[in-house]
């Protein structure tokens, strides 16, 4: 005799439905009609599962999961399969990292530089300067203040932009 057949499913499912309906009534009194109706919907599921024969299906699913878990834990063959799966995952990750590293090395070997630095180096080489070297402060052209303002406002704008100009100069951008 199987374990499934030894359980009285109708009283169990009907009892779960009854307890759920009582709890739903209390939920409706405390939290409103929507909460009560939601509780009634959940409460009717055990009885519906019994009447449609789904309880047996759920029993078989649970039994299969339990059998798999017990055979999984105690089987050396299964653990060797897990080890092979982990090894495959590690190899996928390592191959992807190696691929990126090869691509970076190929770009470095070709001498490709970011477009902004390459343009600055090319312009510096045409001017007879060493590539990658920032121009001196005297070489920077001064611009009039925005809006044609003269006096103290123009000086404030220049002071504000001095920090930005220093950063740009450090990176070879003029």
More confident residue, 148 or 17: 17
Reported as a pLDDT band with limits 50, 70 and 90, residue 160 is: confident
Say which residue the tokens 């003029």 belong to. Answer: 174
Q: What's residue 114's pLDDT? A: 53
Residue 18 Cα distances to 53, 123, 150, 157, angstroms = 19, 85, 87, 78
CA–CA distance from 158 to each of 18, 135, 174 (Å)?
Answer: 81, 18, 15
0.75 surpassed by pTM: no
43 pLDDT band (50/70/90 cuts)? very high
97 has pLDDT over 50: yes
Instruction: Please give the pLDDT value at position 121.
Output: 52
Asked if 46 and 16 count as a contact pair (C-beta separation under 8 A), the reply is yes
Q: How many residues does the chain have?
A: 174
Q: Residue 81: what are its φ and ψ, rounded to 5°? A: -65, -40
Select from 128, 97, 136, 132 the least CA-distant residue to 114.
Answer: 132
Q: pLDDT grade, residue 1 (50/70/90)?
A: very low
Give me the pLDDT at residue 142, please. Answer: 54
Rg (CA), the chain: 38
């Amino acid at each position: 005799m199987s374990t499934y057949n030894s359980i009285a499913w109708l009283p169990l499912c009907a009892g779960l439905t009854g307890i759920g309906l009582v709890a739903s009534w209390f939920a409706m009194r405390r939290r409103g009609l929507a909460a009560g109706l939601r509780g009634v919907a959940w409460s009717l599921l055990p009885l519906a599962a019994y009447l449609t024969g789904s309880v047996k299906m759920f029993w078989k699913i649970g039994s299969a999961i339990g059998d798999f878990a017990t055979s999984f834990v105690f089987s050396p063959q299964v653990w060797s399969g897990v080890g092979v799966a982990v090894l495959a995952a590690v190899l996928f990750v390592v191959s992807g990292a190696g691929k990126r590293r090869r691509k970076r090395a190929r770009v470095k070997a070709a001498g490709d530089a970011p477009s902004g630095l390459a343009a600055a180096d090319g312009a510096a080489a045409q001017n007879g300067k060493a590539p990658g070297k920032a121009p001196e402060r005297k070489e920077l052209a001064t611009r009039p203040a925005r809006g044609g303002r003269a006096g103290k406002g123009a000086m404030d704008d220049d002071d504000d932009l001095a920090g930005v100009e220093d950063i740009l100069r450090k990176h070879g951008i003029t």
